[in-house]
């Protein structure tokens, strides 16, 4: 059923899950969803007492998204092109964020995280009030380069390093059971963390490591702190899904595919298993074929889809030819049928209804592929998380 983005955000909030993991293509609306979710979190419930004091965003929810990155901008010293520096837009959030990290002595951890994902030679230098940052290359001695303007990818890594440092501090602080024993009370009321795509600039090795580290933090976080994570990266989705044990047994929700429909509304579909098991392209082909077979509506183009599915499976398994997956006793005949129906050039053939035998061939070949080449089967039970 189609929903507005506000309704999607409310559904996520009402689910009351420890972790909710959402895959969506770029441009679908993940960043806007983070804003809508924030608004739902800040709305007072009917049973909450009215107050003239506004609810501060940071007291209830922390979120990382494109809006977070917009708080950082370059002063490039265009006149001399000599002293580029990354400035941090002053507002209530950044003032609070930098103040907390400064008071807790976390600037060194920001540098450490950043260098881990970039280079141990590329070094950020905070101003005394943490309102701006310059970058230089350390040469291994007492010398260093002048100020550098880092790449967009490195900039994104740096901003994520700040957020990750804050998140690490939040969790370690909240894990102290008695509030009066915590080194700060700034995080006592925090309920949600919303993270939107922190991986756009990472190579696969660092992406996997980031996902593993983030999952480790989440697993050590207090039970009353909830996470919503959105991404366009199947790999990031898969690693988080597996590290957090989010396999589905058919009963619980928590993993989704967010889609935007033609009329501008949205669909939040529940998914079971990681992306390879729930929404990759080869599964779309499989589902399309299964639906056509079940409805008795197999057309000639379904042979093309079937061949595509065989090709993808053969490529993954290392077969030199997709025909190597066909049933041995009928391989020559079935290969001829598939070649004819998927590569036909005669106009009268392209519009002719497939014969019952040809329709049965689609079912036979799909059944053969699913039965013999390791397609994942739904598990009966899901682990706790």
pLDDT tens profile 117-176: 888 999 999 988 778 999 999 876 666 677 888 988 899 899 999 999 999 999 999 999
Phi, psi of 375, rounded to the nearest 5 degrees: -75, 140
Number of helices followed by number of strands (H, E) in the chain: 15, 10
Six-digit token string for 42: 């800040």
What is the C-alpha separation between 22 and 15, in angstroms, rounded?
A: 13
Q: What is the pLDDT along the chain (385 residues), one digit of tens a residue?
A: 689 999 999 999 999 899 999 988 888 899 999 999 999 998 865 445 545 555 678 889 998 988 888 999 998 765 665 678 999 998 888 888 888 888 888 888 999 999 998 889 999 999 887 789 999 998 766 666 778 889 888 998 999 999 999 999 999 999 999 999 999 999 999 999 999 988 777 777 888 889 999 999 999 999 999 999 999 888 888 889 888 888 655 445 588 889 888 888 999 988 877 666 666 667 777 888 888 899 888 887 888 888 888 888 887 788 888 888 888 777 766 766 666 665 555 555 555 678 888 888 889 889 998 888 866 555 444 444 4
pLDDT tens profile 310-344: 888 887 788 888 888 888 777 766 766 666 665 55
Task: List the domain boundaries for the chain.
Answer: 5-80+94-121+150-272, 281-372
Q: Which stretch of DSSP H or E encloses residue 66?
A: helix 66-69
What is the C-alpha separation between 114 and 122, in angstroms, rounded?
A: 9
Q: Using the structure block, give the residue that is written with the tokens 């979120």.
A: 63
Task: Please tell me the pTM assigned to this model.
Answer: 0.75
Q: Cβ atoms within 10 A of the Cβ of 70, count?
A: 10
Q: Using the structure block, give the residue that is written with the tokens 């993991």.
A: 21
CATH of 5-80+94-121+150-272, one of 1.10.3470, 3.40.390, 3.30.70, 3.40.50: 3.40.50
């Amino acid at each position: 059923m189609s929903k507005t983005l506000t309704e999607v955000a409310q559904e996520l909030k009402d689910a009351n899950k420890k972790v909710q993991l959402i895959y969506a293509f770029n441009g679908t609306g993940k960043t806007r969803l983070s804003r809508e979710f924030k608004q739902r979190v800040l709305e007072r419930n009917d049973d909450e007492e009215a107050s003239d004091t506004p609810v501060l965003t940071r007291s209830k929810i922390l979120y990382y998204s494109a809006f977070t990155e917009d708080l950082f901008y370059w002063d490039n010293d265009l006149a001399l092109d000599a002293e580029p520096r990354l400035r941090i837009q002053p507002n209530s959030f950044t003032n609070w964020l930098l103040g907390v990290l400064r008071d807790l002595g976390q600037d060194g951890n920001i540098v450490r995280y950043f260098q881990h994902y970039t280079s141990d030679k590329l070094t950020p230098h905070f101003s005394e009030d943490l309102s701006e940052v310059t970058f230089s290359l350390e040469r291994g001695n007492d010398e260093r380069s002048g100020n550098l303007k880092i790449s967009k990818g490195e900039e994104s890594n740096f901003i994520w390093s700040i957020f990750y440092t804050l998140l690490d501090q939040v969790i370690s602080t909240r894990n102290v059971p008695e509030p009066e024993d915590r080194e700060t009370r700034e995080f006592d009321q925090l309920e949600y963390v919303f993270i939107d795509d922190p991986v756009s600039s990472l190579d696969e090795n660092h992406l996997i490591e980031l996902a593993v580290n983030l999952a480790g933090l989440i697993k050590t976080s207090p039970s009353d702190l909830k996470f919503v994570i959105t991404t366009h990266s199947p790999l990031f989705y898969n690693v988080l899904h597996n590290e957090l044990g989010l396999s589905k047994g058919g009963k619980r929700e928590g993993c989704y595919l967010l889609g935007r429909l033609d009329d501008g509304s949205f669909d939040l579909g529940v998914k079971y298993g990681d992306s390879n098991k729930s929404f990759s392209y080869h599964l779309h082909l499989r589902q399309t074929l299964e639906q056509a077979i079940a409805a008795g509506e197999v057309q000639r183009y379904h042979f093309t889809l079937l061949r595509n599915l065989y090709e993808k499976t053969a490529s993954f398994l290392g077969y030199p030819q997709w025909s190597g997956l066909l049933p041995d006793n009928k391989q020559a005949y079935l290969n001829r049928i598939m070649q004819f129906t998927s590569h036909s050039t005669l106009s009268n053939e392209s519009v002719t209804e497939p014969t019952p035998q040809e329709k049965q061939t689609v079912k036979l070949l799909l059944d053969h592929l699913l039965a013999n080449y390791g397609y994942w089967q739904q598990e009966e039970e899901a682990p706790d998380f």
